[in-house]
Chain A
Amino acid sequence: MSGPVASLNTAWFAVLGFLWTGYFVLEGFDFGVGVLSLVLGRDDIDRRMARTAIGPWWDGNEVWLIVAAGATFAAFPLWYAAMFSGFYLALFIVLVALIVRGVSFEFRGKRDGARWRAGWDWALAVGSLIPAFAWGVAFTGLLHGLPLSRSGLYLGSFWGLLAPVAVVGGLASLAMFLTHGAAFLTLKTTGPLAARARRAAMWLCWPAAALVAGTAAWLAAGRSPSPGDLPTAIPLALAGGCALAFAGSGLLVWAGRAYAAFGLSALGIVAASAAVFTALFPRVMVSTGPGPSLTIWSAASANRTLIVMTIVAAIFVPLVLAYQGWSYWVFRQRLTRPAGSASPSCSSRENVTRR
């Protein structure tokens, strides 16, 4: 089944591309900071600084996922049904990770005690690591192809999701989010933590660039475009742009240009996400048989639903962007480790202040 390219189906495919991209760019850095808080944070104050750096936004960032999933359900019900039932155990693990990391923000500071806090530090780090890896696996899998039945349902097992190329794709998303998070920490904090984050970004950008390029090359080699697909050159160029952006981000961090470095890592994630969606189009899930791939026509809702959704989205997406943007403006300061707490041994609770 197919239809005209200039249609609401194409528009909603693009909207979903936008929502997922927004999710990866925004929650990407808070996943990265979540993992790095454990690795780079040497004491309680460091770790609290890392948490506070993402504190005002992580929840709003996660709503991008909720909206992306809801919009997939509404605009492409068959895609939602096939993907969520197909990725069953993987999504269960992601959900558990998101749950423990989510409560860790609220619970960690509610009790004293080293073990309590260390426990929630691990919950944040592991709870950020798992989805950062899993989303890469999932989207590489959509592109690489999964066995789908004639009614569009996934026929494989949990382990079938972990094809070698998908694992590389997962490592690529993990490395990108870590670099992105390190760049964010560099610009939101000061002192030793910022210095460590800077060094981390300088190192992490190279595996990120290499893994993205590798995943793209691997997928492109196995791709056989059918009529109606976009030329392979487009996603390949975008993936190449992503790799360059991450390399550039590392160089800018090295040069001390934290804001520009973060902007470039964000741009890199946009390019990677755009590469995935342009490579998919007009499919939403590539099938390796026996059934056909799901497409923006076979998986979509009827036009009337898409019209209602278009009207609501046209009004509210700009509004959401405006107030979320404002909230980033409100908390634009860097966090500073106050004088008198330079040594990790004399940690005190009330001495992290803004500069």
Chain B
Amino acid sequence: MTPAKVLLSRWQFGVTITYHFLFVPLTIGLGLLVAIMQVQAYRTRDETWDRLTRFFGTLFLINFAMGVVTGIVQEFQFGMNWSNYSVFVGNIFGAPLAFEGLLAFFLESTFIGVWIFGRNRLSPVVHTLSICLASLGSIVSAFFILTANAWMQHPVGYHLVGHGAGRKAELTDFWAILRNSTLWAEFSHTVLAAFVTGAMFMLGVSAWQLLRGRNVAAFTRTARLGAAVALVCVVLVIVTGDLQARLMDTQQPMKMAAAEAVYRTQSGASFSLITIGNLSGQPIFQIRIPHLLSLIATLSWNGKVTGVTGAQAAEVAKYGPGSYVPVLWVTYWGFRIMVGLGFLILIMSAWALWRSRRGGKPFELGRWTLWVLVACIASPFLANTAGWIFTEMGRQPWIVYGLMKTGLAASPSVSTGYVIGTLAGFTLLYTVLGVIDLGLMARYARQDLGGGEPEPAGREREDVLIY
């Protein structure tokens, strides 16, 4: 298997999964918020909540469509580009994928359909329940796909059978796979980050509407809801992220060292905010916070943090000769962008909530500040992307940590030319669809808040008119 084919297959997976994961967190986060708003509308019989549910529901559905269609590519890609991997892990990895479909996607897709077309057909209770079930489905799907991913980070509940090319992992304990500590750390961190994504999106879109100065009372409501949810969830994201860092320090010491690009194993290690240098141990300029890295990794002031050199030596001793060091500039900056944006979101949401604390009154924010909130829509998307690039690139050269190297995982029967062709094809298609999707999102994010029936011009949903 040529290194070029492996590299191109990795690029293909990287490009398609990164793109897919722009839509997924918004589906999960905004789905929950739309469900919350519709429950509010139902409980209070407040017409404004109903109009807001429809407004954000439209944006939710545009985004949802993109998430759905790009998701199938991911499921097929394991077999298409990574057939050796599929054979090696199929006994274990396949089950969560099947359960994701059976338990989550069926629920999500069926009740989204019911929700879109059922507004005039169903009682309000059942209609409200259908968006809640769809939202539940999206959260359950996160659980199962992360079950699969957590097993790649920290394999448990398996034994190895066969040897050479026929070597594969077989299930010994499915319960252990569901109780994997890495799974619960990843699941809580990722789902909370998805809630933050939906909430910051809602805050930013509301700010954009407030800039236009129409329906100020209604969009003040969603701005506050977004800010509150973002604040609570981002605090929890930081807590669960910290939990994950400590797990990583014991389970994947190399990744923790690579996050910080520290070479020597040291006690009371400082955390570098910014390093400019050649990253081979000789920084030119840096800002460091004393002892912070030891605190993050071990929860003690003078805790011992393994350096890259130490982790490399340990893996060579365990797995034989070779380089076990990931691409350090990617892990270093990936980690920093994720953490930095997380704290930016913390500050922005806390500040927005503080400024709007007198309930009922409109946001007392200047135009400039509102524009900053609009710009902040990008921050959770960038943080999600940086975090996943860090965690997946930080696992390299392993595809399954300690068990299988990425270099051996690709499809032997697929030619490099095919991989190039499909990589180009997906990139082109995704670019075109991305432009269209962004255009539609922008168009529907700045439209007027709809009134009651009939729907205002330009915002008709062909479907709700019919059934």
Contact = CB atoms under 8 A, between A and B. Distances in A.
Contacts of A83: 79
A74 B433 CA distance: 32
Given A75-B94, A84-B83, A330 B412 contact: no
A331 B98 contact: no
A48 to B, nearest CB: 5
Contacts, number: 252
B87 interface: yes
B99 interface: yes
A86 interface: yes
The A contact surface, by secondary structure, is: helix
B171 A304 contact: yes
Interface residues of B, number: 80
Contacts of A350: 454, 460, 465
Given A149-B413, A155-B413, A309-B98, A98 B110 contact: no
A118 interface: no
A110 B447 CA distance: 12
Interface in B61-104: 61-62, 64-66, 68-73, 75-76, 78-81, 83-84, 86-87, 89-95, 97-103
Contact of A312 (B69, B99, B118, B172): B99
B21 interface: no
Contacts of B357: none
Given A66-B75, A349-B465, 8 more contacts: A55-B463, A73-B93, A76-B90, A108-B462, A149-B413, A301-B170, A305-B170, A316-B102
Interface of A: 48-49, 51-52, 55-57, 59-60, 62-63, 65-67, 69-78, 80-86, 88-89, 91-92, 95-96, 98-100, 102-103, 105-112, 149, 151, 153-155, 301-302, 304-305, 308-309, 312-313, 316-317, 320, 323-324, 327, 330-331, 333, 335, 349-350, 352-354
B347 interface: no
Interface hub of B90, B93, B171 (most chain A Cβ within 10 A):
B90
A153 B413 contact: yes
A110 B79 contact: no
Contact of A59 (B80, B92, B112): B112
B116 A304 contact: no
A85 B98 contact: no
Given A56-B114, A106-B62, A330-B122, A302 B91 contact: yes
Contacts of A95: 72-73, 76
B467 interface: yes
Contact of A153 (B80, B102, B122, B412): B412
Contacts of A105: 65
Nearest to A49: B466
B466 A52 contact: yes
Contacts of A66: 71-72, 75, 101, 105
